Amino acid sequence: MRTLPLNGILNSLSINYNRKNKGVKLYELAKVYIPREVAEEEATIQFKGDELLPDERVQFVLAFNEAGDFFDMKGTVLDFFEEVGMTKRAIFKVSDKPFLHPGRQAEIWYRNECVGYMGELHPEVADNYRIGGRSYVAVIDMPKITKLADFDIKYKG
């Protein structure tokens, strides 16, 4: 059970890069499993049902390789927010994910809640996946988005 959604999409970027398909843009809806924190005093109590099961979450993952830069990914995230009816201003704060390039990453905040993160893939991670060039990823937590989005959108033909 994975706790980060990036492995699948990084494998896809690697395959495309090594087959000379540069400039690809990919997305994935990935399930992740986040361990629930249990206090020490609660650990001795007998739990019933699924209280100890991990939190299963769907995350929307975007990635591209040599198809833009940090600001292109930021624009893609903002376009996604607009399409699902999130019209308030998103804020991007400095992040410290070890698998992203230091100084080229950000947490994505919307209405005082962190809804994801984005940034350039760390060069060591890119080397491990055999991805050349600069690659950018964004991960958006869908359960948080569905609470914040206004899906009452009228489409015109």
Task: Report the C-alpha gap between 49 and 36 in whole angstroms.
Answer: 14
Question: How confident is the model at residue 155, as a pLDDT?
Answer: 72
The string of pLDDT tens digits covering residues 94-139 is: 999 999 999 899 999 999 999 999 999 999 999 999 998 899 999 9
CA–CA separation, 98 and 71 (whole Å): 20
**Residue 48 pLDDT:** 54
Identify the helix (H) or strand (E) that includes residue 11.
Answer: helix 6-18
Q: How far does Cα 124 stand from its chain's mean position?
A: 19
Which of 33, 36, 40 is closest to 52 using CA atoms? Answer: 36
Strand order across the 55-65 sheet: 25-34, 55-65, 135-141, 113-121, 100-110, 91-94
100, 120 contact by CB (below 8 A)? yes
Pair 66, 72: CB distance under 8 Å: no
In this predicted model, what pLDDT tens digit does every residue of 41-79 receive, in sequence order?
454 455 555 567 788 889 999 999 888 899 999 999 999
What CA–CA distance (Å, rounded) separates 8 from 2? 10
Query: For residues 129 and 115, what is the distance between their CA atoms, to the nearest angstrom?
Result: 26
pLDDT at 61 (0 to 100):
94
Q: Does residue 29 have a pLDDT over 90?
A: yes
pLDDT at 157: 80
Range with the largest mean pLDDT of 36-40, 85-89, 91-95: 91-95
Query: 3-state class of 141 per DSSP?
Result: strand
Is-contact 125 99, C-beta < 8 A?
Answer: yes
Distances (CA, A) of 90 to 58, 98, 110: 20, 23, 5
Higher pLDDT, 64 or 22: 64
